[in-house]
């Protein structure tokens, strides 16, 4: 079983993915993200960049649907999400699957937010993630500083994967990586 601290983070993660805040992950939560990025960055509706985002977000949801056992077609509930992270990630011995999952999530964030394609998430790109996912940006600067381990003012893939590992696995509320998706404590 995951601990209360782990569960709090897993629920925080679920709630930010649940764009429409109805306690279910559905396709429209993910198309909504593509739309918010499009509007935020001023991409043309139906243009190349919008289509790229729409495809990436739709594929992301379908990969989750395939990986997570769910009762209703095309819907992942909060309980199903918690059960998946608990059994298939945190308390699983399948190291390869865990690594794939981490790469999958962080790769997705790079697809969406590494706007200048330099292989790093800058402070601005990180703030974009907070805005798009409706995370309180009050915490973005604090989180960025905690995650930027080598203090070069950008987040590398490794820094984000490291943070995400802590976010998933650590039971220590003082670990910097817990802050990858902002304030998880309330």
The C-alpha atoms of residue 180 and residue 13 are separated, in whole angstroms, by 10
- Binding residue for Ca ion (CB under 5 A) from 28, 94, 118, 185? 118
- The reply to whether 114 sits near Ca ion by the rule CB under 5 A is yes
- The reply to whether 128 sits near Ca ion by the rule CB under 5 A is no
- Tell me, letter by letter, the H, E, C secondary structure of 61-82: HHHHHHHCCCCCCCCEEHHHHH
- The reply to whether 23 sits near Ca ion by the rule CB under 5 A is no
Q: Nearer to Ca ion by C-beta: 116 or 174?
A: 116
Q: Output the smallest distance, CB 110 to Ca ion, in A.
A: 8
- The reply to whether 66 sits near Ca ion by the rule CB under 5 A is no
Q: Output the smallest distance, CB 16 to Ca ion, in A.
A: 21
Cα angle value 165/171/174 (rounded, 5°):
90
- The reply to whether 148 sits near Ca ion by the rule CB under 5 A is yes
Q: Nearer to Ca ion by C-beta: 94 or 152?
A: 152
Distance of CA 128 to the CA centre of its chain: 13
Angle at which helix 27-41 crosses helix 123-132, to 10 degrees, equals 130
| Token code pair at residue 2 | 């995951």
Between the CA of residue 159 and those of 120, 139, 149, what are the distances in Å?
Answer: 10, 18, 7
Q: Output the smallest distance, CB 118 to Ca ion, in A.
A: 4
Residue ranges binding Ca ion (CB under 5 A): 114, 116, 118, 120, 148, 150, 152
């Amino acid at each position: 079983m995951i601990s209360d601290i782990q569960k709090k983070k897993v629920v925080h993660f679920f709630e930010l993915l649940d764009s429409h805040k109805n306690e279910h992950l559905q396709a429209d939560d993910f198309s909504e993200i593509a739309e918010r990025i499009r509007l935020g960055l001023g991409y043309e509706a139906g243009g190349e960049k919008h289509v790229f985002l729409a495809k990436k977000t739709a594929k992301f949801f379908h990969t989750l649907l395939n990986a997570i056992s769910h009762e209703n077609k095309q819907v992942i509930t909060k309980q199903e999400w918690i059960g998946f992270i608990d059994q298939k990630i945190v308390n699983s011995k399948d190291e390869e699957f865990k690594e794939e999952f981490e790469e999958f999530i962080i790769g997705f964030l790079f697809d969406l937010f590494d706007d200048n394609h330099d292989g790093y998430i800058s402070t601005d790109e990180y703030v974009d993630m907070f805005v798009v996912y409706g995370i309180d940006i009050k915490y973005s600067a604090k989180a960025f500083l905690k995650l930027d381990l080598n203090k070069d003012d950008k987040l590398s893939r490794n820094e984000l994967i490291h943070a995400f590992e802590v976010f998933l696995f650590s039971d220590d509320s003082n670990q910097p990586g817990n802050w990858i998706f902002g304030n998880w404590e309330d």
